[in-house]
Every structure is written in structure tokens, then in C-alpha cells.
Amino acid sequence: MIERARQILADVFGFESFRHPQEAVVETLINGRDALVVMPTGGGKSLCYQLPALVREGCGVVISPLIALMHDQVSALSQLGIRAGCLNSAMTLDELQQTEAALRNGQLDLLYVAPERLQQPRTRQLLSQCRVALFAIDEAHCVSQWGHDFRPEYMQLNELRELFPGVPRIALTATADARTRQEIIDRLALTDAAAFVCGFDRPNIRYRIGQKDRAREQLLRFIRDEHPQDVGVVYCLSRKRVEETAAWLCERGFNALPYHAGLDAKLRQHHQHRFLTEESIIMVATIAFGMGIDKPNVRFVAHLDLPRSIEAYYQETGRAGRDGLPANAWMVYGLQDVIFLRQMLEGSQAEAAQKQVERQKLEAMLGLCEITTCRRQALLSYFGENAHQPCGNCDTCLEPVPVWDGTEAARKALSAVYRSSQQYGVNYVIDILRGQSSDKTRQRGHEQLSVWGIGKDLDQQQWRSVFRQLVARGYLNVDPQGFGVLHLSDRCRPLLKGEETLELRRDLKVSSAAGKRTGG
């Protein structure tokens, strides 16, 4: 069977060889086993389900939330001679019926379906009458309640296992940290799936994160100096800021368009179309813009506001440089971003447990902002890749930041976590370090610990900065299930044994940053 797959790879797709780990994924599905694939954008996920759909008997059903792109996908496949169709709410009754008939007659190799359509009894009945080769669940991170792409319709996809026993399922996504991967497995009932998590690195993207100081002017300088004629995306948090920034860039002679969920659907589509077809264009957008957008020559992605998580940051910056040529991921952030995101988070209607997860994701994002070592290493380590060298292609690699020797502070912090049995969150551990007496510290007997009050030289804020950096650099892990409970990781050992020293980024005092005004 795998020979057959290789043949199709060459004859139909025109590719000489598989990319890692396509072959193993294809084999898994051909053998009827489920798979979870996490592969960066541009890595070649589609082939992982298209090929086995062609090898296996019946039609491969692809569940995708990106209705706007289905038509393009179908015509691209048709050009290769693959019989593909789609079912979604944007089609006329006539078109739907034609596709359904083709499916019933066994004339389709691949069928793209929107998740909400799969919920309809009509669709289920249709599929139960046909031979289904496999189910591919694209953008599988949409099942994650903690993520910003959450789609309730994805929750029901776990039913596929019982409705279609024996039909292999493959879930695919470009962005999923360990927690999201587990969530995908749990919610889609993929307990027996083979997992393929491969390299997250995008070496051609240069990551830069700076302190915010009149953000728009900073953005303008960045675009004028480095990307005067290029294609780019500027992300803002609010619709209002999107509109203002787009207008402001237009006034300064740039071809900039706004995009957010509040715009009329027609206008939004028009702007998306212009972005995809024009050269030298800047899309100023909220996170509503981007999923599935495939424009290879996006030269920069700029963030005027802090994303809520590293996953979001990675996903958004990942839209730059899909052609493999150098691209910039540029961001400015400030205390206000942090305050704003915290307020939004705390003020939301979400349950306590969800808020806690979001809080941790935000902390990790902040950690990435504040580190003094290679940003790429930190980014990759967040996704579980630890073996990388400093990249030489991020701001911290290219320009060293002000630091202080945090070795002693870090040792104290780690010891305090350890001595309190790795059962508490950061605030409590800081109380121990600073000797802040409370009913809890008394009841638990923590005032007798050797680490009690050994950290009075730093204030709460400075300790938070120390802890944030320790988490970001992987010295401390945060319990995904619990309430931010800290654990030592293996990486601590050399530091605790005195074999390693640690430099920490010196947080800029907000007052001086706010008071600074560049002339002009």
C-alpha cells in the first residue's frame, strides 16, 4: 500500500519524496489507525490526508472551518485530476445536490465539509450510505476551549468515532502546545492516535519584541525603514484601533486596509481578496483575520498589542515568510497591554478554571517578552523543543539587553518552591520568600522552613519578574491541571548545584519609559 502511496505522490502530486513525517502519517492512516499531526504552516499537512484518501477505498471527508477557502482547495485538487467537492452554507441547493449525487455514486475522492454541516442529520445520513475512506479534522485546535479559535461545532466531532467505527481519523493543526494537544486528543476521542509533532521552527522569521513608546510612530518607522513596499499584516486588539491605524497609515501614503469581525461580510471579503491579490499592501486586523490565509510573500507581521498566548503569537507571526525568504515578526508591548489583558481576562464570564489557564498562557507570553536569551529558543521550548542553539536571528541574539545577575535570586526562588513541596503557586511562594506571615503560612508550618524570609531584598514585583522568567526559560513548570502550582524541571539541577549562573532581564521602570519622549 505504501508503494501505491509513493506512486501517487509522484504521479498525481508531482513530488519526488515525502517530507518528514508525511510518510509515517500516510502509512498510519492507510493501516486504519488514527493520527494527530502538529506541523507548522507550510509544512505539508494536506498531503497527510489527501494521499491516504486516494489510496483507501471510498471518499475522504475533510472537516474544515474555512468555508471561504474550500472552493480554492477543490479547484486546486481538480487541476491535479483528483475528484473533489465540498458542502457548505455558501453553496446553492443545486450545487449541494450535485455534490451529494457525486458522493453517492462513488465519484468523489475528497469531500470538504464545514463542521456545522456535519451536525445535520441529512449529512450524516448521506455519509452513512457511502464508503468513507477517512475523516480529516483540519484546524483541530478549534476544539480547544482555551484557544481563541474555539468553535463549539468541533465539540461534537468526537461522535465520529462511534458513528463510523473503523474509519480512521486524522486531526491536524499548526499550533498546539502540550495542553492543547491533550485537549484535542480528549475532545476528539483520539486516545489511540499516533501523534506526530514536528519542528516548530521558522528560521527565516526574525523575532523582535520591544518596549512600547508611542506605538504608531514606532510602527511607521519600522515600515518605512524596512518594508516600504512590502506586504504585511498589523495586528491590533480592538476594532477601533484597527480602523484608526489603517486610516493613519493610509494618510501616510501606505496601501492599508482594515479587517475585523465588525465589518460587513462583503467588505471583509473584498479586503481579504485585495490582500491576496495585490502587491505592496498592509492589512491592519484583529485576530479575526488570518486562519487559512495563505499568501506566501508576507514580509512582516507587526503586533501593536500583546497577543494573549504564545500559541496566538506563533500562529499570527507564522503568517510571515511562508515562501521561506527573510521576514520580520515585530512587536511592541508595554505595561498597559499587560494590565488591559489581565483586566479583560479577570472581567470575563469564564469559569475560574478557564481563567486560570488563560492567565498561565498570558504569563508565558509575558515571559517570552521579557527574556534576555534567544526568543526562538524560548518559543520552541514552549512547544516542547529544547535542543536548539541560540538562533542569531532574533533581537535578543542580535542586541544584548540590560541584565542583572539573578543567580542567587533564582536559587532562592527554586529552593522555596522545592522546600514548600512543589504544591503552591507563585504568590504563595513569594510570601514565603519575603516572610509574609499569614494564617496559611502559620498553619502549614512554613515559617519554620529554611527559606522563610530569605528574599526580603526584592519586592513582590521583582520576585514576580524572577518567577516569570524562570517559567519562561523552563526552570519551572506550571501544573496544567492545577491552579498554577510550580514544579522544578530537570533544568534546575545545574543552577541549584552551583554549576550554572543566570542572567535576568532588568525590567524597565515604567515611569522612565512613560516619561521618555523622542523628539519630532
| Residue 45, contacted partner among ligand ADP, Zn ion, none, CB below 5-8 A by kind | ligand ADP
In whole angstroms, the minimum distance from the beta carbon of 289 to ligand ADP comes to: 17
Is 52 among the residues that bind ligand ADP (CB under 6 A)? no
Partner interacting with residue 397 (select from Zn ion, ligand ADP, none; CB below 5-8 Å by kind): Zn ion
Q: What is the arrangement of strands in the sheet containing 282-285, beginning at the earlier edge strand? A: 205-211, 327-333, 298-303, 231-235, 282-285, 256-259
Are residues 139 and 70 in contact, defined by beta-carbon separation less than 8 angstroms?
A: no
* Residue 42 vs 453, nearer CB to ligand ADP: 42
Going by their DSSP bridges, the two strands 205-211 and 282-285 should be labelled as: unpaired
Rounded to the nearest whole angstrom, what is the least distance from the CB of residue 329 to ligand ADP in the complex?
17
- Dihedral (C-alpha) 451, 455, 459, 464: value to the nearest 10 degrees? -60
Torsion of CA 401, 471, 367, 392, to 10 degrees: 50
Applying CB under 6 A, which part among 41-49, 260-268, 412-420, 487-495 lies near ligand ADP? 41-49
Question: % helix / strand / coil in the chain, to the nearest 5?
Answer: 45, 15, 40
How many Cβ atoms are within 10 Å of 417's Cβ, its own excluded? 27
In terms of CB distance, is 41 or 393 closer to ligand ADP?
A: 41
Q: Is 70 in the site for ligand ADP (CB under 6 A)?
A: no
Q: Which of 5, 29, 47, 379 binds ligand ADP (CB under 6 A)?
A: 47
Nearest residue to 119 via CA among 79, 145, 84, 151: 151
Q: Give least dist CB 57 to ligand ADP, A.
A: 23
Looking at 45, 56, 161, 227, which residue binds ligand ADP (CB under 6 A)?
45
> Which is nearer to ligand ADP, 25 or 366 (by Cβ)?
25
Q: Which is nearer to ligand ADP, 193 or 485 (CB)?
A: 193
CB 371, CB 382: distance < 8 Å: no
Work out which of 42, 199, 292, 482 binds ligand ADP, going by CB under 6 A.
Answer: 42
Among the listed ranges 35-43, 210-218, 269-277, 500-508, the one in contact with ligand ADP (CB under 6 A) is 35-43
CB 214 within 8 A of CB 336: no
CA angle 229, 232, 238 (to 5 degrees): 135
Q: Which is nearer to Zn ion, 234 or 320 (CB)?
A: 320
Nearest to 285 by CA among 232, 330, 334: 232
Are 281 and 274 a contacting pair, CB within 8 Å? Answer: yes
Residue (41 or 477) nearer to ligand ADP, CB: 41
Binding partner selected for residue 96 from ligand ADP, Zn ion, none, CB under the kind-specific 5 to 8 Å limit: none
- Interface with ligand ADP, residue 18, by CB under 6 A: yes
Residues between 366 and 405 that touch Zn ion (CB under 5 A): 374, 376, 391, 394, 397
Task: Work out whether 205 is an interface residue with Zn ion (CB under 5 A).
Answer: no
Binding residue count for ligand ADP, defined by CB under 6 A: 12
Q: Which residue from 2, 6, 12, 15 is in contact with ligand ADP, where contact means CB under 6 A?
A: 15
148: nearest Cα among 307, 282, 266, 5: 307
Close Cβ partners of 345 (under 8 Å, ≥ 6 residues apart): 308, 355, 358, 359, 362
Query: Can you state the angle between helices 352-370 and 460-472, rounded to 10 degrees?
Result: 90
Min separation Cβ 138 and ligand ADP, Å: 8
Under the binding rule (CB under 6 A), the answer on residue 39 touching ligand ADP is yes
Give the Cβ contact number of residue 161 at 10 Å. 18
- Return residues touching ligand ADP (CB under 6 A): 15, 18-19, 22, 39, 41-47
- Return residues touching Zn ion (CB under 5 A): 374, 376, 391, 394, 397
